[in-house]
């Protein structure tokens, strides 16, 4: 496989600042920020995260190992990851309390927001966006939201519960990462950013004027809104700074989008490839991938003749269970290939997998019963001491958000809680 060349050699201090309107703003992490003649041992490689949700889940009896600890026997679905056994942890006994096991809970996979089917439901901050809040300014794209399958769903949500649109086509991701606009297009983009910031400045002044004539409760609401505008201004500053910097280059060609309704596996592989390229070029450090099969296609695999979603509700029939196993095994092979590709990329003497956490799970524990307990979850890579199979109470599950807290802390984000968490996840250490 051809690899991307993207120099990170530097000449300026990492903590340089942009100044605008009296405010200081940290610059994105640029390849000019690493000391040009520093020793490799002095360079601290960035930490990154990928979170994947497989919205139809996996058959539990084929996913979960029967024994626990480091010396567990691989389950049928973990067999495709056999050579990576010391690089991942499989969990059982996890859930998101209050989200239920319905398909609509996929939007809560990284937020743990409760009751997604109730009228007036509003989502909350997603894990990837919490990461982006801390490190998003260091890369061209604060985060990258991807989706396998049609629709409008996303795993990524702002603190205000607004969905960040997910990109479905690999070719669009490729062009975002590598295709430069013309000088005129870049000039127009900078002008749009400057116009947007000017509008925000004007609007902020009007809000400040209004706040002097309202009560304390309204002042608080206006202040929250003003803070949101200020955050948007910062994002515009960052985008403008990146618009002047050349994009990385790659020898890999623009991918050809697979438009087959049943092309689950090639679509997944291609988006995994785009995620690897984004990480390898340090274009972003926070990626989500929603694998959305709820629209019920028949997957293009030999031996599969029934629609995917329908098969999950027919697992009591041997023939349907065998067809579903073909699909789910292929999905796990995709994950294994993605992890191997990350492991093959070297950065300052370590593999990209060793600096990138990859979480794959589902919002559904048992799709046949729409059961949201005992979610199938694998966490690979990163700086963790992987302990094999960590099993928790099958009836009184631990919050999956505890894993999220451990992930945040592994990223250097010193949060003690996230959503429904009760702390970090027991048994998962950091190396």
Question: Is residue 310 domain-shared with residue 387, that is, in the same domain?
Answer: yes
Would you say residue 12 lies in a domain? Answer: no
pLDDT on residue 39: 44
**How far apart are alpha carbons 87 and 378 in whole angstroms?**
10
Distance CA 116, CA 399 (A): 17
Q: Do 132 and 231 belong together in one domain?
A: no
Cα dist from 104 to 55, 167, 298, 299, whole Å: 9, 19, 21, 21
pLDDT value, residue 247 = 85
Pick from 86, 47, 49, 91: nearest CA to 386: 86
Residue 54 CB partners (closer than 8 Å, separation 6+): 291, 293, 331, 360, 361, 362
Token couple for 231: 């955050």
Q: Is there a domain that residue 362 lies in?
A: yes
Copy the structure tokens of residue 82. Answer: 């056999």
Contact in structure between 25 and 238 (CB atoms under 8 Å): yes
Radius of gyration of the chain (CA): 22
CATH of the domain at 333: 3.40.720
Domain membership of residue 6 (yes or no) is no
Please state, in angstroms and rounded to a whole number, the distance separating the CA atoms of residues 15 and 1.
35
Q: What is the pLDDT of residue 370?
A: 87
Same domain, 356 and 404: yes
pLDDT of residue 12: 40
Reading the block at residue 139, the tokens are 């890369």
Residues 220 and 352 in one domain: no
Residues 6+ apart with CB under 8 A from 71: 388
Model pLDDT, residue 348: 86
Lookup result for tokens 């956490």: 357
Contacts for 199 with CB less than 8 Å, ≥ 6 apart:
none
Domain with 392 in it = 36-179+248-430
Q: For 352, which DSSP code? A: T
Establish if 2 belongs to a structural domain.
Answer: no
Q: Virtual CA dihedral for 399, 400, 406, 411, nearest 10 degrees? A: -140
Question: Does 372 lie in the same domain as 304?
Answer: yes
Q: Are residues 52 and 190 in the same domain?
A: no
pLDDT at 353: 97
In this structure, the answer to whether residues 111 and 255 fall within a common structural domain is yes
Considering the domain architecture, whether residues 126 and 254 belong to the same structural domain is answered as yes
pLDDT of 185:
55
Same domain, 322 and 343: yes
Short-list 175, 182, 186, CA closest to 277:
175
State which of 222, 245, 268 marks the end of a domain: 245
Token pair for 349: 């003497």
Q: How far is CA 37 from CA 10, 82, 216, in A?
A: 8, 40, 55
pLDDT at 242: 67
Q: Is 21 part of a structural domain of the chain? A: no
Q: Which residues of the chain have pLDDT under 70?
A: 1-43, 180-212, 217, 219-244
Residue 241 confidence (pLDDT): 65
CA distance 285 to 220: 33
Tell me whether residue 19 is in a domain.
no
End position of a domain, from candidates 245, 275, 296: 245
Element (H, E) at 198: helix 183-211
Q: Which of 211, 245, 279 is the last residue of a domain?
A: 245
Q: What are the structure tokens assigned to 279, written together? A: 């990480």
**Residue 291 in domain:** yes
Assigned domain for 342 exists: yes
Q: How many other C-beta atoms are found inside a 10 Å radius of the C-beta of residue 291? A: 22
Q: Are residues 173 and 78 in the same domain?
A: yes
Q: H/E element holding 54? A: strand 48-54
My answer on whether 163 and 194 are in the same domain is no
CA end-to-end span of the chain: 30
Overall number of domains in the chain:
2
Verify that 326 and 377 share a domain, yes or no: yes
Angstrom distances, CA of residue 380 to CA of 109, 113, 114: 17, 24, 27
């Amino acid at each position: 496989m051809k690899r991307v060349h993207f120099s990170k050699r530097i000449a300026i201090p990492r903590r340089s600042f942009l100044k605008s309107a009296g405010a200081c703003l940290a610059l994105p992490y640029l390849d000019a920020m690493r000391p040009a003649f520093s020793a490799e041992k002095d360079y601290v490689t960035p930490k990154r995260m990928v979170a994947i949700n497989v919205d139809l889940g996996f058959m539990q009896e084929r996913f979960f190992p029967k024994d626990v600890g480091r010396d567990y026997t691989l389950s049928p679905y973990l067999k495709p990851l056999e050579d990576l056994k010391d690089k991942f942890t499989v969990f059982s006994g996890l859930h998101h309390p209050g989200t239920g096991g319905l398909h609509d809970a996929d939007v809560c996979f990284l937020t743990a927001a409760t009751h997604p089917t109730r009228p007036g439901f509003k989502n909350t901050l997603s894990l990837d966006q919490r990461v982006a809040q801390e490190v998003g300014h260091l890369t061209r794209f604060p985060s990258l939201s991807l989706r396998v399958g049609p629709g409008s769903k996303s795993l990524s949500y702002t603190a205000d519960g607004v969905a960040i649109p997910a990109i479905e086509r690999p070719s669009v991701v490729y062009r975002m990462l590598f295709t430069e606009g013309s000088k005129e297009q870049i000039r127009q983009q900078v002008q749009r950013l400057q116009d947007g910031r000017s509008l925000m400045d004007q609007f902020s002044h009007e809000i400040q004027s209004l706040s002097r004539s309202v009560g304390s409760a309204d002042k608080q609401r206006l202040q929250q809104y003003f803070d949101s505008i200020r955050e948007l201004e910062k994002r515009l500053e960052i985008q403008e700074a990146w618009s002047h910097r050349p994009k990385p280059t790659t020898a890999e060609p623009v991918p050809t989008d697979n438009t087959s309704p049943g092309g689950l596996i090639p679509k997944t592989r291609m988006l995994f490839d785009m995620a690897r390229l984004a990480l390898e070029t340090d274009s972003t450090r926070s990626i989500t991938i929603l694998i959305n099969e709820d629209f019920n296609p028949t997957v293009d695999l030999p031996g599969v003749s029934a629609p995917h979603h329908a098969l999950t509700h027919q697992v009591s029939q041997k023939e349907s269970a065998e067809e579903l196993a073909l699909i789910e095994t292929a999905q796990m092979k995709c994950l294994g290939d993605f992890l191997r590709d990350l492991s093959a990329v070297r950065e300052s003497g370590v593999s990209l997998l060793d600096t990138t956490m990859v979480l794959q799970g589902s919002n559904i524990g048992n799709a046949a019963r729409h059961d949201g307990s005992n979610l199938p979850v694998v966490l690979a890579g990163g700086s963790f001491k992987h302990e094999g199979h960590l099993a928790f109470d099958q009836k009184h599950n631990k919050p999956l958000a505890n894993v999220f807290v451990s992930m945040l802390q592994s990223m250097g984000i010193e949060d003690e809680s996230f959503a429904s968490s009760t702390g970090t996840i027991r048994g998962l250490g950091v190396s």
